[in-house]
Structure 1
Amino acid sequence: MWTLLKTAPASAWFGMIVIALIAFMGVFADILAPYSETEVVGPQYAPWSDEFILGTDNLGRDMLSRMIYGARNTVGLALLTTAIAFSVGSFLGMLSALKGGWFDMILSRIVDVLMSIPSLILALMILAIVGTSIINMVAVIALIYLAPVFRLARAAAQSIVVLDYVEAAKLRGEGTSRIIWREVLPNITPTLVAEFGLRFCFVFLFIASLSFLGLGIQPPTADWGAMVKDNAILISFGDITPLIPAGAIALLTVSINFVVDWMLHKSSGLKE
Structure 2
Amino acid sequence: MKITKAQLVFLFSFATLIPTLWGGGGNIADFDDVWKRRADQAWKNTLAAYEPSPENVTTKFNENVHKALVANKSNKTKDLEGGDDRRNLRGKHKKYTGPCMATNPIDRCWRCRPDWAENRKRLTQCVIGFGHRTEGGEKGKYYEVTDNSDDDPVNPKPGTLRFAVIQKRPLWIIFAHDMHIKLSRELIVQSKKTIDGRGANVHIAHGAGITLQFVDDVIIHSIHIHHIGPSKAGLIRDSVDHIGLRT
TM-score for the superposition, normalised by structure 1? 0.25
The structure number with the bigger radius of gyration is 1
TM-score for the superposition, normalised by structure 2? 0.27
Higher relative contact order (CA 8 A, sep 6+): 1
Structure with more of its chain in helix, by fraction: 1
